[in-house]
Amino acid sequence: MNSQLFEELKLKYSLPLLDLLYEAQQIHRANHVQNEIFVNSLINIKSGGCSENCSYCPQSVHNTAKVPVEKLMNNHEVLNKAKEALKNGASRICLGAAWREVRSNRDFDRILEMIRDLSQLNLEVCCTLGMINQKQAIQLKKAGLTAYNHNLDTSDTYYSEVISSREYEDRINTLQHAGAAGLSLCSGGIIGMGESIDDRISLIIALTKLTHTPESVPINLLVPVEGTPLQNQEPIPSWELIRMIALTRIALPKSRIRLSAGRNKLSHEAQTLCFLAGANSVFLGEKLLTTENNCMEDDFQLFNALGLILHKN
C-alpha cells in the first residue's frame, strides 16, 4: 500500500467538513465542467441466479432474496429502453448481467450484437458482465463498447468479509483486461457494509493504483436487502458518504464520480453536498438493477434547483 497517500487521505478525512469540501470542490472545478452532471441509465439485461456470494446482493444464488431469475433480455427490448433513456437525458447506458463470468457462447454473441446496435445511438455504452478475459474484452471493444464496469467494492483486507467466491486479484485482472483492450474503466465500491474508515481509504488507493485509472467511480451506499447477509446492517450517516466522495475526488481528480445506490435515501440537501464534494454523475430511472432509485421528476426538480446541466455527448 502507498502509505504516504494513505496517511494524507486519512488526515483529510478528519478535516472539518467545510474545509474538506472546499478542497474537493477546488479540485473538481479545475478538472471538470462546472455545474455539469452525467446521467446514466442502467438496464438489468439478465437478472438473478448469479453463482457469486456477494453478501450485499439479492441476485446471488447463495442469498434468499426473492429476485426472479430471468434469461437474457431480448435485443429489441434493450434497444427500446435505451432510446427511452436517451430521450430522458441519459448520455450513457449501462447493461448489467448477473454472471460470475462471461462465457463465450450465444448469450455473449447476443450482447455483442446489442452493443453494436446501441453504439449507433448517441450514447456511451457500458456493461457489467462479471469477469472477462482478454479476448472477450477485445471483442467488446470492437463491438463499440465504451466502458466496462467492475467494482472493487471495498478494501483488499475487508473483501473476504463480503465475498469469498472470488479474490480481489480476480477483480484487478478483469479491470486489467478491459483497460488493455482500450475500454474505459468504471470501478468503485460500496460503503456501509461494516468496513472501517481505513478500508474505505484503502479502496480509494486501490483504485488509484490500477494500471488504467478508472474514468468513472461509482460510490454506492449499501442498500440492505432482506434475504442477504447484510440485511440488518445499520445505515451510516450521510456525512460519511460525503467525506468518502470528497476523498475520492481529491485522489482521482479527473474521474467522474457517480453517486449510485442508496441515493434515494438521501435528502436533496445531502445529495447537494455530495455534488459539492465532487460527485458529477448519477443513475436516472426508478430501478437500479433490483433496488429502488430516485423518482425522475424529483431528480429533475433537484437539477433545476441547483442549476445542474446534463452532459450531452
Q: For ligand SF4, what does the binding mask look like between residues 87 and 106, x meaning CB under 6 A?
A: -----------x--------
Nearer to ligand SF4, 58 or 179 (CB): 58
Residue 145 Cβ, how far from ligand SF4 at the closest point, in Å? 18
Of 27-35, 48-56, 116-124, 134-142, the window that binds ligand SF4 (rule: CB under 6 A) is 48-56
Of 51-59, 173-181, 233-241, 258-266, the window that binds ligand SF4 (rule: CB under 6 A) is 51-59
| β-pair partners for 291 | 288
With CB under 6 A as the contact rule, the residue among 20, 43, 54, 245 that binds ligand SF4 is 54
C-alpha span between 256 and 278 (Å, rounded): 8
Residue 93, CB-side half-sphere exposure with 13 Å CA sphere: 28
Catalytic residue among 50, 127, 171, 256: 50
Catalytic residue among 92, 94, 171, 256: 94
Nearer to ligand SF4, 20 or 54 (CB): 54
Residue 126 Cβ, how far from ligand SF4 at the closest point, in Å? 15
C-alpha span between 159 and 54 (Å, rounded): 10
C-alpha span between 115 and 113 (Å, rounded): 5
Question: Does the annotation mark 126 as catalytic?
Answer: yes
290 binds ligand SF4 (CB under 6 A): no
Nearer to ligand SF4, 54 or 126 (CB): 54
Could you tell me which residues come within 8 angstroms of residue 283 by beta carbon, excluding any fewer than 6 positions away? 39, 40, 41, 42, 94, 258, 260, 263, 293
Contact 179, 211 (CB under 8 A): yes
Residue 256, CB-side half-sphere exposure with 13 Å CA sphere: 23
60 binds ligand SF4 (CB under 6 A): yes
Residue 104, CB-side half-sphere exposure with 13 Å CA sphere: 9
Instruction: Please report, as residue ranges, which positions from 217 to 276 form the binding site for ligand SF4 (by CB under 6 A).
Output: none
With CB under 6 A as the contact rule, the residue among 24, 28, 52, 85 that binds ligand SF4 is 52
Residue type, 162: V
50 binds ligand SF4 (CB under 6 A): yes
Could you tell me which residues come within 8 angstroms of residue 109 by beta carbon, excluding any fewer than 6 positions away? none
Question: Does the annotation mark 258 as catalytic?
Answer: yes
3-state secondary structure at position 22? helix
Question: Does the annotation mark 94 as catalytic?
Answer: yes
Q: Between helices 168-180 and 134-143, what is the axis angle to 10°?
A: 40
C-alpha span between 251 and 207 (Å, rounded): 9
Catalytic residue among 92, 126, 200, 249: 126
3-state secondary structure at position 195? coil
Nearer to ligand SF4, 52 or 215 (CB): 52
C-alpha span between 40 and 288 (Å, rounded): 11
Count of positions on this chain that bind ligand SF4 (CB under 6 A)? 8
Residue 85 Cβ, how far from ligand SF4 at the closest point, in Å? 21
Question: Does the annotation mark 295 as catalytic?
Answer: no
Rule CB under 6 A: which residues touch ligand SF4? 50, 52, 54, 57, 59-60, 98, 130
Tell me the catalytic residues: 50, 54, 57, 94, 126, 186, 258
